[in-house]
Structures are given as structure tokens and as C-alpha cells.
Amino acid sequence: MDTYELVVPCHFGLEAVTKREIYDLGYEITRVEDGRVTFAGDAEAICRANIFLRSAERVLLQVGRFRATTFDELFEGIKALPWEDYIPKDGKFWVKKASSIKSKLFSPSDIQSIAKKAMVERLKNVYRLNWFPEDGAPYPVRIFLLKDEVMVTLDTSGDSLHKRGYRLMTSKAPLTETLAAALIMLTPWKKDRILVDPFCGSGTFPIEAAMIAANIAPGMNRQFTAEQWKNLIPKQLWYDTVEEAQDLMDADIQVDIQGYDIDAEVVKAARENAKRAGVDHLIHFQQRAVADLHHPKKYGFVITNPPYGERLEEKEDLPELYTQIGQAYAGLDSWSLYMITSYEDAERYIGRKADKNRKIYNGMIKTYFYQFMGPKPSKRRETAEKTIERKEQQ
């Protein structure tokens, strides 16, 4: 089976999370750049990466890399690539997206147009055709220019991988599923610890946490463009990968994951989303204000995405809101708080400085992932807690 360079775009600043996921799938990392990780893999790896990776935005198959500072160089570079190894005679091919950063060639529309002409020129010579029907499987191309280096890829995913298929209803400022999963994996939370999101919105943090706990592959209930590439990936590989995902699920997991929101309609939508994700039985959703957040158990986690106040009229409410977050957290004995927000006075009103702070872009919004770390439970206490919980369940 052929080996490809597979490029996985991810959230800028969270490359280490995606890298760890790829290692855990058993593949070799060949390159790490800002916002993407490249690894070597075969056709099966394309299936497994799309279905199993939680933090990846999409999975791209690299066709080639070269330098280009003129449109002539771009044309010749694209034309020199072995497109016939990927696109059959009836394949539908087009440049879905082109982006350019710090490069002499900066017009996306011109890059797209020239690249398509170069692909046609190459395939005309190989297939001895003057016209292509393009009525077969789709082969969308994505081209990235960075400092005059051109990376040419085929998009195996189609819709972005954050579209798991469960979130039909969203709140005002939703966090993407991929970003939520990556942030959870950045924390030391494990499925045997309590997790509460007091601003759950559409339920993304609790749902992604429940899917992680139950080992539910994020892509097992959706489709991918490369499923139609029968010339490159046998259909059976997709069936085998879904079967692998089903075998790895832990349907009997016991967890304590809770999602609160002050808006009853939002809580209702979160429940519906959780139901579609198959994890509604693992999450307790409730209409509740952050000021009412309290819990008798120790060593829990608050992982949340509170309001940022992006609209001017909402900014006035933020000092009081973040003060309430700080007061609620102060009342949680030995808990940890992980919070993504663009509000720069967050630490001031919470009442303490974060132990760690990481800059992360949520879409085009510059946000900060504040990490307030509680103590770790002792091994003896952990063992005792688990014994008590087992007895309670019997």
C-alpha cells in the first residue's frame, strides 16, 4: 500500500495535542509547523485519522511542495506534480482554497486559476484528452503558500472535522468541537474526576468530555470526501475503521460530567445535542447560574467558555460575572479551573493570577486559556475514593 505525507491542520498553539493524538494512533510525525502536523501514513491512515482525531481540523494528502516566486514557476511546479496518481479520467477536480502568507504570490483567485490550468495541462498529456467530463468523484485541492514555499494538497475530509454531526443548535458564541476537545486534552482531567462547565451553551465541553471518556471516535457518524476515492482507498477500509471505532467504545463507563447554563432554552438545546452524540446518559444538564456553582466532592475540574463581552452592551456585566466565577471557584475545595476567554481583566476579577496562561485564537478572536491548578489527590485518597464509589454503585 502506498505511503503518503498526510497534513493535519489544527488550532494554532495546540499542535502538541494533535501530535500526541497522531502518535497514539501509531504513526510517525515527519514535520510540525504552526497550525499543522504532518505524518506518514497509508490509505488506512487516511480513514483512521479522519475518524479518530479529535483536535484536527481536516486531513490533507500532500501532493507536493516546491518554491515559487512567479506565476510561471507556480504553473510549472503544479504541472510537474503526478496528478494522474490521484485523479482518474472522470475525476472532478478544482482548487477549493488557496492561501498566501509572506509570499510574493498573494492573490488567492489567481493562484486558484493558474493551478487549475496547470493540472488540466498535465492530465491532458497523460490521459490524451482535450476535455474532461469531471462527472466522477470529487478531488478538492487546497494550496498553501508560506514564505514562497508552495504546499499542494488534496482534501480527504470535505466538511471540517469539527462538524461531528451532533451540534445542530448552537449558542451565541459557540466553541468548535475540535477546539473544545483539544483544550480538554490539554488539561490533566481524566474520566474518574468530576467535570463541570457552568457556561455550557450548546454543550460542547461536556459532550466532548463524555465522548473522550467513553472512547467514542468523533468521526464515526459522518461522511468524508475520500470515501468516494475508490481508486486510492478501498471501501472496505472505511468499514473496517468504523468497526474498530465501535469495538473501542466503552458503553458502560461511569462518569460525573455536568453542564449548567442560566438560559433554559440553551440547556434544552445542549441536551438534544448530547442525545445526537450518544452521550446524553453521561451528562447532567441543569439550568443554573454560575453564582450557584458548588460541589461537596474534592479535586474536580471546571472547564468552561464564559461570555467574552464581544458586544459593547455586554462588557458592562463582565466585572460582576467574573467576580462570581472567582467566588464560586474559591468555594470549591481543591478544584482546578480551566477557562478560555478574550476578557483581559479575567484574572483581576477572579481574584488570583492563573498558574498558566496560553494564547489561543478562537476563530478570529484572540483568546486566553487560563489555567488555575488545584492540588492532585494523593494515591491513597484516590484509591479510597474509588472504593467508596464502587460500593455506592453496588
Pairing relationship of beta strands 60-67 and 4-9 according to DSSP bridges: antiparallel
What's the pLDDT band for 315 if we cut at 50, 70, 90? Answer: confident
CB contact at 8 A, 62 and 153: yes
Domains of the chain, CATH where assigned: 4-155 (3.30.2130.30), 177-216+225-393 (3.40.50.150)
Is the pLDDT reported for residue 382 higher than 70? no
Predicted confidence at residue 251, as pLDDT, reads 81
Predicted confidence at residue 313, as pLDDT, reads 56
Residue 31 pairs in a beta bridge with: 38
Is the pLDDT reported for residue 323 higher than 90? yes
Question: Which range among 110-114, 136-140, 308-312 shows the weakest confidence by mean pLDDT?
Answer: 308-312
Burial of 304 (0-12, 13-18, 19+ CB in 10 A): buried
235: Cα within 13 Å, side-chain hemisphere: 2
Query: What would the mean pLDDT of 53-58 be, rounded to a whole number?
Result: 98
Q: What is the CA radius of gyration of the chain?
A: 24
- What is the Cα–Cα distance from 276 to 294, expressed in whole angstroms? 29
> What is the DSSP secondary structure assignment for residue 12, as one 8-state letter?
T
What are the backbone angles phi and psi of residue 379, rounded to the nearest 5°?
-60, -40
pLDDT, mean over the chain:
93
Burial of 116 (0-12, 13-18, 19+ CB in 10 A): middle
CA 193 to chain centre: 23
Query: What would the mean pLDDT of 6-21 be, rounded to a whole number?
Result: 96
CB contact at 8 A, 37 and 10: yes
State pTM to two decimals.
0.93
- Percent of the residues in the chain that have a pLDDT greater than 90, as a whole number: 87
* Tens digit of each residue's pLDDT (9 = 90 or more) over 148-190: 999 999 999 999 999 999 987 655 557 899 999 999 999 999 9
Predicted confidence at residue 236, as pLDDT, reads 98
What are the backbone angles phi and psi of residue 37, rounded to the nearest 5°?
-130, 135
Cell 481536516 belongs to residue? 58
- What is the Cα–Cα distance from 124 to 223, expressed in whole angstroms? 31
Cell 468524508 belongs to residue? 224
Residue type, 142: R
* Tens digit of each residue's pLDDT (9 = 90 or more) over 62-83: 999 999 999 999 999 999 999 9
Cα dihedral 222, 225, 230, 232, rounded to 10, equals -110
Distances (CA, A) of 39 to 1, 21, 22, 208: 16, 11, 8, 25
